[in-house]
Structure formats: structure tokens, C-alpha cells
């Protein structure tokens, strides 16, 4: 791999990963719901040993040990997936009370092995078998969260944790909603729920990751190094529990980015990718940072891998197009931007990037400049008065009064892109 620290230009797009060993359905039309780039803690739990001293508990304990061993070795290859498939269903045989839990665990294995359809079938089966089960309720809540129905999801999770005080995944997902999807954030309540989860299972890694993310957010909001210190303490604790838990390194990398330690941040992102090449957020983080260093090939490779995980993710398509543009693969850049536009025609970023491509990188003919003009006008229309795009809109729309040709006064107004295009077209047309 090329070293990413060439031509250092410090521009950072942080993509917060609160990715768990979890229920994280990869949809064809994947799009980041949190506009700051953060992902949610969609966490279906790993179910521990059931009633002791029964044949089922012994078989379950053996299956769970093999599951954890495989997780720690990142060993979910085809052979392991075949051998693990059905292990929990076999363990539960003879005890109808365990059938729903077995379906949950079979679904988690399917996810590890990349078979999302089978995972969904198993989760559906668990809900049908025992809709009151903690894990079944968590799956229902996660599906509501995927549809942005956070209020309904919260009600289900509150019911789950009240009915079962041992429901670690319920506490963790509830904390995520309180932190990310409550205005203002209910940080104190979220932290209390994470402590409850860890009181039940001191090694529950998704709770560690969510807690580190909570302190990361607090540090961003308050510019608090003390909060980032706490986030790093939590990351270290999680590392001691399982040094091969990829999401914690991604979160740790984001903390280091906030502290300005980009070399260390990249090291953490690379470690996360090494442990889990399918960790979308880590690939995006690594790609954005290397892109900011003009390490276009490294960024391109990372965004390609991210897109393989979420083939229709808008932000990954835009990012891959931008890396391709940096590599002077202009046709591919245009294709990626068009794909992003097709995923969500209402979002403005694709139009801006296509306008920039045709204005600055293509032939410079009147035809291409008019295409740029159209795309940039579309960008302005879709961006509207959204604060997120205000600076970019100003850079496109700004108009300056003509300067007298012989004036020695230095111009203080810099024309926007649309005015520049108009002037270029007029010059090329002999106007």
C-alpha cells in the first residue's frame, strides 16, 4: 500500500462508526441516515449459555465457544460458515423455549457469513416464535430504526428492558437513540443505560463502543479534551476484552482525529480494516483521510471496498467519483456521480461534482461549459437554504460587478462559478 502521508493537506471528513457485532442489514439502497456521517448501533445480541446442567446448555456452551473463537480470529470463511450453520438450532433441540433464541443466533451467523437473506429469515422466525423475547424485540426495534421510526423503536426497547433487566442489546440500542436521535440528546440517560448493559455483561463490546462514541460526541460539542480522554479509556478497556474487535479501532481513530493526531488515526483505521475489511465506516474514514492527502489511489481502493459492502451508498459513490477524478479517470468519475444522482435525485452533491467536473476537468468547450452551468444550477436549486451547503452555494452563485479595464484597484469580489462560466462562454463565442 502506498504511504498515505504524502502532500499533506489537512481536510477531514469524520465518519463515526458505532458498528457492533450486530444486526446490521445491508440493504441494496444503502444511504447514510445521519448527515454527520455516523452510523447507528444496530445491535442484535449474542445469547449466552442457557439453563445450566441440561444437554441443551452444554451443546449451546460449546457452540458459543466456537462462535467467539471464530470472531476473535476473524475466521468466518466458507468452511467455518458451513460448520457453524445449524449449531445453535441443534443445541436447542428438545427444548421449545430455546427455539427463538436459536433462530437469533443462526441469523447472527448468517450475517457474519454475508448471507443477509438467510439472516432476515432467521430473525423473522425468532419474532414469530417468541415476540416477547428480549432479542426478538431488539430485532423489531432495529428494523424500525432502519426506517427512521426512532420513536416507535424506543418504545419497544423500553418495553424490552423493563420486561427483561438482562437485555443488554436493548439498553445499548436505547442509549444510541437517546444519544443520536433525541433533541436535545439525553446523554445522562444514555450513559446510565450503557452502564446497565455492562453491569449485566462486563464484556459486551457494542456497549463499550457506544460509550466511547458518547464521549467522542461530548468532546466535539464542548471541545473537551477530558471527554476525549474518557473515550480513549473506554477504547482501551474494549481492546483488553477483545483485541480483534474492529469497530473500536475505528472509533478510536476518530478520537485521534479530533486531537489532531492523523498518523495515529490512520493507524487505527487500518487496523479496523485489517480485522474487518467489510467495516464500511472504517473504509470510508481511511479513504477520506488519504483523499485529503491527495493519495488518490489509496482513497480509490478504500472507497471501492466500501462500495462493495453498500453498493448503492450515495456518499461512497460520490467519494469514489472524486478519487477517480483525482486519478484523471474522468469518464468513471462522471459515471459514479450519475449513479449517486440516480440513488437520490434530491440530494445536491452529485450535481455540484458533475458541474465541477465539466467546468474544470473536461474539454473546456462551450458545450461542456453549458453542461457545467446546468449541473451547478441544479445544485443551487436542490441545496436551497440548507446551512450545510451555504458556503458552496455562495461559491457558485456569487456575482461581482465588472471592473474597469484600466483600474489599478485590486478586486475584492471573486466571481462565483456560474459567473465564471458565463464569462468563459462569452469569450469562446466571441462576445
CA–CA distance, 383 with 402 (Å, rounded to integer): 27
Report the number of distinct structural domains present in the chain: 1
Determine the pLDDT at residue 51.
Answer: 58
Give pLDDT, residue 77.
Answer: 87
How far is it, in rounded angstroms, from Cα 281 to Cα 17? 6
pLDDT band at 394 (very low <50, low <70, confident <90, very high): very high
The residue-averaged pLDDT of 61-89 equals: 85
What pLDDT does residue 314 have?
97
Q: How confident is the model at residue 44 (pLDDT cuts 50, 70, 90)?
A: low
Distance in angstroms (rounded) separating the CA atoms of residues 390 and 380? 10
Task: Please give the backbone phi and psi of residue 242, each rounded to the nearest 5 degrees, phi first.
Answer: -155, 105
Considering the domain boundaries, does residue 136 fall inside one? no
The 3-class SS string of 141-156 reads HHHHHHCCCHHHHHHH
| Domain range enclosing 407 | 357-428
pLDDT for residue 176 is more than 90 = yes
Considering only CA atoms, which of 287, 247, 347, 340 is closest in space to residue 24? Answer: 247
Has residue 371 been placed in a domain? yes
Q: Is residue 385 assigned to a domain?
A: yes
**Residue whose cell numbers read 456569487:** 398
At 46, give phi and psi (nearest 5°).
Answer: -85, 130
On the question of pLDDT at 216 being above 60, the answer is yes
Q: Are 161 and 174 in contact (CB under 8 A)?
A: yes
- DSSP symbol at 98: G
> How far is it, in rounded angstroms, from Cα 255 to Cα 278?
21
218 prior amide bond cis, ω within 30: no
Render pLDDT for 327-352 as a digit per residue (tens, 0 to 9). 999 999 999 999 999 999 999 999 99
**Is 362 among the domain residues?**
yes
Q: Is 108 a member of any domain? A: no
Question: For residue 44, what is the enclosing H or E element?
Answer: none
- The reply to whether 96 falls in a domain is no
pLDDT at 2: 37
> Bigger pLDDT: 271 or 66?
271
Q: Which of 10-14, 221-225, 258-262 has the lowest mean pLDDT?
A: 10-14
- Give me the chain's average pLDDT, please: 86
Grid cell, residue 51, equals 439453563
Q: Is residue 225 part of a domain?
A: no
Return the number of other C-beta atoms located less than 10 Å from residue 368's C-beta.
Answer: 16
Q: What is the pLDDT of residues 110-139, one digit of tens each?
A: 888 888 789 888 888 988 898 888 988 898
Say if 195 falls within a structural domain: no
Predicted confidence at residue 8, as pLDDT, reads 25
CB 250 within 8 A of CB 285: yes
Amino acid at each position: 500500500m502506498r504511504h498515505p502521508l504524502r502532500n499533506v493537506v489537512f481536510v477531514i471528513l469524520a465518519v463515526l462508526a458505532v458498528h457492533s457485532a450486530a444486526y446490521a442489514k445491508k440493504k441494496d439502497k444503502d444511504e447514510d441516515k445521519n448527515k454527520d456521517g455516523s452510523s447507528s448501533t444496530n445491535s442484535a445480541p449474542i445469547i449466552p449459555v442457557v439453563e445450566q446442567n441440561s444437554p441443551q446448555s452444554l451443546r449451546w456452551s460449546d457452540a458459543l465457544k466456537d462462535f467467539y473463537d471464530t470472531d476473535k480470529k476473524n475466521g468466518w470463511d466458507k468452511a467455518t460458515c458451513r460448520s457453524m450453520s445449524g449449531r445453535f438450532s441443534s443445541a436447542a433441540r428438545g427444548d421449545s423455549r430455546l427455539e427463538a433464541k436459536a433462530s437469533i443466533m443462526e441469523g447472527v451467523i448468517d450475517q457474519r457469513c454475508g448471507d443477509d437473506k438467510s439472516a432476515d429469515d432467521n430473525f423473522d422466525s425468532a419474532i414469530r416464535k417468541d415476540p416477547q423475547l428480549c432479542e426478538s424485540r431488539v430485532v423489531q426495534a432495529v428494523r424500525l430504526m432502519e426506517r427512521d421510526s426512532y420513536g416507535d423503536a424506543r418504545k419497544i426497547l423500553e418495553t424490552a428492558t423493563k420486561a427483561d433487566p438482562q437485555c443488554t442489546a436493548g439498553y445499548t440500542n436505547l442509549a444510541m437513540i437517546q444519544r443520536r436521535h433525541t433533541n436535545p440528546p439525553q446523554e445522562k440517560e444514555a450513559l446510565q443505560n450503557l452502564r446497565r448493559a455492562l453491569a449485566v455483561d462486563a464484556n459486551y463490546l457494542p456497549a463499550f463502543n457506544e460509550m466511547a462514541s458518547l464521549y467522542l460526541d461530548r468532546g466535539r460539542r464542548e471541545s473537551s479534551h477530558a471527554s476525549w480522554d474518557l473515550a480513549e479509556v473506554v477504547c482501551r478497556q474494549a481492546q483488553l476484552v477483545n483485541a480483534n474487535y474492529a469497530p473500536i479501532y475505528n472509533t478510536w481513530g476518530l478520537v485521534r482525529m479530533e486531537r489532531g493526531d492523523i498518523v495515529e488515526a490512520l493507524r487505527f483505521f487500518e487496523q479496523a480494516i485489517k480485522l474487518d475489511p467489510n467495516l464500511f465506516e472504517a473504509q470510508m474514514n481511511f479513504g477520506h483521510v488519504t483523499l485529503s492527502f491527495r493519495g488518490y489511489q489509496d482513497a480509490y481502493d478504500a472507497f471501492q471496498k466500501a462500495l462493495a459492502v453498500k453498493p448503492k451508498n450515495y456518499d461512497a459513490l460520490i467519494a469514489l467519483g472524486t478519487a477517480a477524478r483525482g486519478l484523471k479517470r474522468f469518464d468513471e468519475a462522471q459515471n459514479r456521480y450519475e449513479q449517486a444522482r440516480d440513488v437520490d435525485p434530491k440530494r445536491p452533491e452529485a450535481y455540484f461534482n458533475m458541474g465541477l467536473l465539466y467546468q474544470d476537468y473536461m474539454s473546456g468547450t462551450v458545450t461542456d461549459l453549458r453542461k457545467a452551468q446546468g449541473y451547478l444550477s441544479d445544485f443551487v436549486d436542490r441545496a436551497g437554504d440548507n446551512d450545510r451547503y451555504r458556503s458552496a452555494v455562495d461559491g457558485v452563485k456569487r456575482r461581482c460587478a465588472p471592473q474597469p479595464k484600466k483600474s489599478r484597484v485590486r478586486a475584492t469580489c471573486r466571481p462565483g462559478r456560474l459567473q465564471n462560466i458565463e464569462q468563459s462562454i462569452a469569450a469562446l463565442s466571441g462576445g
